[in-house]
Structure 1
Amino acid sequence: MLHILFVCTGNTCRSPMAEGLLRKLAKERGIHVEVRSAGVSAVPGTSISRHAAGILQDEGIQDRIVSSQLNGEAVAWADLILTLTGAHKRHLLQYFPDAVTKTHTLKEYVQTQESVNADIRELDSLYADAELNLALGTEPDAAAMQRMIEIRQRIPSFDISDPYGGSREDYELAAAEIRTALYSLLDKLESLRRL
């Protein structure tokens, strides 16, 4: 069974919606996954936002999701880590550089343009190497840093909009972005299952 971890900031809006929605949609398609979520700055045990809870309830999802802080146990548990923004991904890789091969933003993981995928793989590798160098007390390679800037300039944004503190409509828009990406994720998982 595939273990999928969604990561956002406080684990009260986007990642809990992604967790609940994926669990429901995967079950409907007969795809067996175990899903969790966490936040890079979460207060463990905090209830999800009322609008996120409302959206999940409207979908018939009765899961009781409370916030969790991202930690090494969650990263080790996950086969696939899907962040909701590039900043979340960079934060995760800063603290868990060994997770580079299984960490993606949700939108980048489901996009299909190979040239973009190649850029993302190269950027992730460069970023993980730079973080490792910093951790070891050495300066990152200047040419590698310049290459990271070049790649970032041509990669499209893969961020899911943050509804935190916004209206119900803001949450609906974020949920729609998430739902669209999850449909593509499930299509990808089904095609991988057939291989």
Structure 2
Amino acid sequence: MKNILFVCTGNTCRSPMAEAMLRKLAGERQLGLEVRSAGVAAMDGATLSRHTEAVLRDHGIEETFRSTSLHRGLVEWADLILTLTQSHKRHVIQRHPAAAGKTYTLKEYVEDDPAVLNDLKELDSLYASQEMMASLGKELSVGERERMIEIRQRIPSFDISDPFGGSREDYDIAAAEIRTALHRLTDKLEQGKNRS
């Protein structure tokens, strides 16, 4: 059984969609997954947004859901943490450094282009160096800062668009992005399962 945690901002839109959709997909594909979600700025106990409920109903999913704020227990529970944006990923890693090796954006985790993956690895290393240097009151070299900018300009966006406060169409767009990534995720998990 693999424990997967999705993380977004308020845990009322994107991460609950990802949680519920993956739970359904995993059941259909008979993957042994436990799936939860949380928000970096969530208020515990909030209900889903009405558009999120409607999108999930359209996918044949009707679940009772209450938001959860991200906490250490959830981070420790998770084998894999998939965030909906790069800023969520940075938040998780800054607050829970031990989770760095198991935290990715959803789109990043399912990316399979070797050149992009190498860029991501280098960028993560540069971010880690930047944090360490900042804690020592120092800065990265000009060359390292320029390299970060160069890589950021080159890699694709790994953020799922935020529909919060938007129209039903905005929620449908976010759901489509999530669904596409989740299909790639379940393919990847199935391949890993077949290799074991």
Tell me which interval the TM-score lies in, with the shorter structure as reference length: over 0.9
Partner of 2:58: 58
Structure 2 residue runs of 5 or longer lacking an equivalent are none
Partner of 1:123: 123
**Alignment coverage as a number of residue pairs:** 194
Higher alpha-carbon deviation: 121-130 or 86-95: 121-130
Query: 1:5-84 counterparts in 2 under 5 A?
Result: 5-84=5-84
Query: 1:1-195 counterparts in 2 under 5 A?
Result: 1-134=1-134, 136-142=135-141, 143-195=143-195
Report the CA distance between 1:133 and its aligned residue.
Answer: 4.2
Aligned-CA RMSD value: 1.5
Report the CA distance between 1:148 and its aligned residue.
Answer: 2.2
Work out whether residues 7 and 38 of structure 1, in 8 Å CA contact, stay in contact via their aligned partners in 2: yes
Q: Distance in 2 between matches of 1:140 and 1:194?
A: 45
Give the percent of matched residue pairs that are identical in Structure 1 and Structure 2.
Answer: 59
Give runs of ≥4 in structure 1 deviating > 3 Å.
143-146
TM-score after normalising by structure 1: 0.93
TM-score after normalising by structure 2: 0.92
Q: Distance in 1 between matches of 2:147 and 2:97?
A: 19
Report the CA distance between 1:61 and its aligned residue.
Answer: 1.7
Secondary structure of the structure 1 residue equivalent to 2:3: strand
Work out whether residues 129 and 140 of structure 2, in 8 Å CA contact, stay in contact via their aligned partners in 1: no
